[in-house]
Chains A and B, each alone.
Chain A
Amino acid sequence: MNGYPVYLLTRLGQFALVVFIGINIAFIVTHATPIDPVEQSIAAATQYGSTSPEAIALMRQSLKELYGLEGGPIDQYFAFWRRVAVGNFGPSLSAFPTPVSVLIGRALPWTVSLLVVSTLLTWVLGNLLGGLAGYYRQSRTLRLGGLLAMAFHPIPYYIVAFMLLIVFGYLWPVLPISGGYKMNMPRDWSWPFIASLLTHSILPILSLALVGLGGWFMGMRSLVSNIVTEDYVVYAELGGVERRRILASYVMRNALVPQVTGLAMSIGAIFNGAIITEQVFGYPGVGTLLVSAVYAGDYSLVLGITTVSIVAVSLAVLLIDLLHPLLDPRVRAR
């Protein structure tokens, strides 16, 4: 373990470098967009109402001053990093003057709770069933489950989502198809509110689970199928070790290592939002916020969301890197 501090410092350095490069790329890309937030604001403000060309010229100038877009890209770059250093992404340009951090803070709990639940559910079920299917290859029920998981996996997500909408929203309308909770319900954490939150999340979670389950299932089944042929498993079977114990302690435990890495990556990616899910089910969250920010040319907001996402994914990878040597003796030995 003497090398661990060095390993830790190296990984921390890599983390800082990845975050720095990632945010810089995000800054360049967002500022290269052909969408000008001032023009978007003018278009929105004048799209239907009366406009005088002289007034528009004045409005354009005023908005540039107000949004702080008057300096060159270099000035804006350094101003951005000054703000990021203190955790402030500045005001949103499409919801001026509300700070970007307030908008992200409002949307993030919805996305995180939705995706953490659906990711964990999918991961646990997919790996459990995949592991069982790989180990008990003769089971008809598990083969059928595998067939279903594989059948759903290649269907484009939005098709599955619309199928659920039509089935549970129209043909058998038992589930709400829009929003995060019932309209006009006080957000007081009472049982009716919690029940409303849960029922509104069923379809989004189900859609994500149906599509995501297959990937974990097939991955785990393949891993387990390989591991069961390893000498130590055969030896354990010949030695009369109980099958359940072989599966839990010898097979699944070994097979889980790459799956845990995959889970960490998925959890990190949660901060990207589930754009299509939020759009289709009208579910609140970061995805909807990101889409509207892109269309409005609101690069402060886009940068805010991408920065949070970059840090989250990098942090997840860092944690896995740091935990791996502690969990897996083979990595520690290297």
Chain B
Amino acid sequence: MRLWRSIAALLLMGSGIVEAQAQGTISNLPRKETLIVENPEGTIKNAGWFNIWSINAGGQSTGLHQLGMDTFWYIDPQKGVDGVWDNSLASDKPIYNADFTEMTVKLRKGIFWSDGVEFTADDVVYTIQTHMKTNGMRWSAPVQVNVADISAPDSSTVVFKLKKPNSRFHALFTVRWNAMWMMPKHIFEKAGDPLKFAFDPPVTLGPYTLNSYDPDGKWFIWQKRPDWQRTSVARFGEPGPKYVAYIDPGPPDKRVIAQLNHDLDIIHDVSPEGMFTLAKQSKSSHGWFKGFPYAHPDPTLPAVVFNDQNDTFKSRDVRWALALLIDIKAVSMASYRGAATISAIGVPPTGSAPDYYHVPLESWLQAFEIDTGKSKIKPYDPTVGKQIADMLRPSMGDQIPTSADEINKSFGRGWWKPNPKAAHELLERAGYSKKGDKWFMPDGKPFAIKLMVEGEGRPVMTRAGSMITQQWRQFGIDATTVVAQGSMADRRAAGDFEAMITWSVETWGGHPDLSFFLDSWHSQFVAAPGKPQPPRNWQRWANPELDKIIEQIRQTGFDDPKGLELGREYVKLTVREMPTIPLMSYNVFTVMDDTYWTGYPSADKAPYTDPVPNWANTKYMMGRLKPRP
């Protein structure tokens, strides 16, 4: 008995020690002053590398680009703290000459690096000149393609002379997730080869500086600068958290456990099921939307992207037929368990886009007609968003909004009504034929489609792809899903796919200008079959009408209302031609815990920025976060 008693005492003592060890997740820092955030990059294999100007050498969203970096301008994916556009290091918007061959930037005064040195035009000139003369840095290529010369007439003005007209050159320095960051001249000019300099510890322009990091890359802790008033965000008040920790919390299940234990304030993304668990079990956890669908719709548009150089998809009728065979409600349920925000048009339904594109084009979409040769149909069903909401209401109850406006924002507006009869007619007109219950192509071969999906790396999109192939198969098309896993990027760039679930549309979110992605859709950039295609026209679609739209946008100022009109022309053209089948926005299940902090962005009360914490734009969130009383 004595032995058993000793063992029991030992176990009890051990569990006491272990419990004491497990208390709190951070050593030597007050939890109430620390915001703990998921970094979706995971474990950083080269943790001590903070030189963000070398390509993928270290982490980016470890807090480095959110809290430590700065550049001229930011465009908010949502409403912005003080409007969508923010002059950050610049004191004004970009000033172009008449033919867009010169851009002048006026710099904000009184901004200092974290080591006390003042930020001036010399830093900008150094940054640009270093990229001009060094190949292989992150922004070397766009600088070398665009910049002929840079000068600083005084310490707060820089003038870029461009090699050719470019009305969107400022986009290089305008943050939408990231942008080209400014380098501290006084550090790098003494560092030797800028490609081999680790920049540890980093000297920052943002309101935080590095406190400590795990050499094994699991966590990075940033500390509010004592001189935060000398940074660009001081205009919006003092950042709330004294410390911000960016961590790798592990797989989705562990993120959920960590937040249930209040050890993780912001989850970057989790599975729909994880989100539903948190919504049910934790009173302090919430998403972007107050209720269902919770997730933040990123300004990214997952779609069925056809390889339009493939003979199978060259016909508009075939592409439209395939669109009319998709039941988006089933795709929404399969992918996001209904928590998707659908879009029938080639603009993500988020930020300001619904006001600029979806709402004004609603009546055009309702009137839009397709002539199959045998019948005329109006394919647009404006009630699909509402149908999804109604479908979910019995199981989700009060979580589902009831007002039409909220439903539109949460679930999207309309989509294409499944119409197998019209699809049949369109395929027949394209020379396809049905024998028995199978479809055959004009050359007599079976109509087969391999739809590529990413696999476990992106399960939501993979589930969407599986549902779509199932729907096509039910119609008699030999559709199969191909899982690309890690080779996705290579195969997409090489055009080694027939159709895939990915996105070739990304927008600013808060600003209606579409050149962010659309310029790359010009036919001048479409690669020959087999050659690598530069981002983002993965569909390799070339269209003279689109080229004209893009060329006009290039000659139009960024804020010119004519740009919006041209954007709408693009939408109408892509609805008619259907080069890709837009599905939904990329919804990110960012979950925020109110236990220690309040003031997070939200769709209804505080849409001042995107809460998805790997966006550099989330620096604006820090000023709004306040400790929970």
Task: Name A residues whose Cβ lies closer than 8 Å to a Cβ of B.
Answer: 33-36, 39-46, 48-60, 62-63, 65-66, 92, 94-98, 103, 106-107, 110, 162, 165-166, 169-170, 173-180, 182-185, 187, 192, 195-196, 199, 202, 279-282, 284, 288-289, 292-295, 297
Contact = CB atoms under 8 A, between A and B. Distances in A.
Contacts of A65: 135-136
A184 B493 CA distance: 41
* Residue from A44, A45, A53, A98 whose CB has the most chain B CB atoms within 10 Å: A53
A110 B250 CA distance: 17
Contacts, number: 219
19 contacts: A34-B491, A46-B535, A50-B142, A50-B516, A52-B520, A95-B46, A95-B49, A96-B57, A169-B257, A176-B22, A179-B218, A180-B216, A184-B211, A184-B245, A195-B17, A282-B254, A288-B45, A292-B45, A295-B457
Nearest to A66: B136
Interface in B4-61: 15, 17-19, 21-22, 24-29, 42-43, 45-46, 49, 54-58
B423 to A, nearest CB: 34
Given A41-B55, A46-B535, A169-B257, 5 more contacts: A41-B56, A42-B489, A59-B141, A182-B26, A185-B28
A184 B28 contact: yes
Nearest to A54: B145
A62 to B, nearest CB: 4
B145 A103 contact: no
Contact of B250 (A46, A49, A59, A281): A281
A55 B146 CA distance: 9
Contacts of A51: 142, 520, 534-536
A175 B46 contact: no
Interface string B487-499: 1011101000000
A184 B243 CA distance: 11
Interface residues of B, number: 77
Interface stretch (B171-179, B184-192, B399-407, B563-571): B171-179
Contacts of B253: 162, 165
B216 A292 contact: no
Interface in B474-500: 486-487, 489-491, 493
A46 to B, nearest CB: 5
B27 A184 contact: yes
Contacts of B457: 295
Given A34-B490, A177-B257, A55 B249 contact: no
Interface of B: 15, 17-19, 21-22, 24-29, 42-43, 45-46, 49, 54-58, 135-136, 138, 140-142, 144-146, 171-172, 174, 176-179, 195-196, 211-212, 214-219, 221, 245, 247-251, 253-254, 257-258, 260-261, 457, 486-487, 489-491, 493, 506, 516, 519-520, 525, 532, 534-536
A248 B18 CA distance: 36
Contacts of B257: 165-166, 169-170, 177
A228 B28 CA distance: 58
* Residue from A51, A173, A202, A295 whose CB has the most chain B CB atoms within 10 Å: A51
Contacts of B29: 184
A256 B134 CA distance: 62
A44 to B, nearest CB: 5
A53 B525 contact: yes
B152 to A, nearest CB: 24
A92 B45 CA distance: 10
Contact of A97 (B178, B195, B218, B245): B195
A103 B46 contact: yes
B218 A39 contact: no
B198 to A, nearest CB: 8
Contacts of A297: 486, 490
A180 B135 CA distance: 38
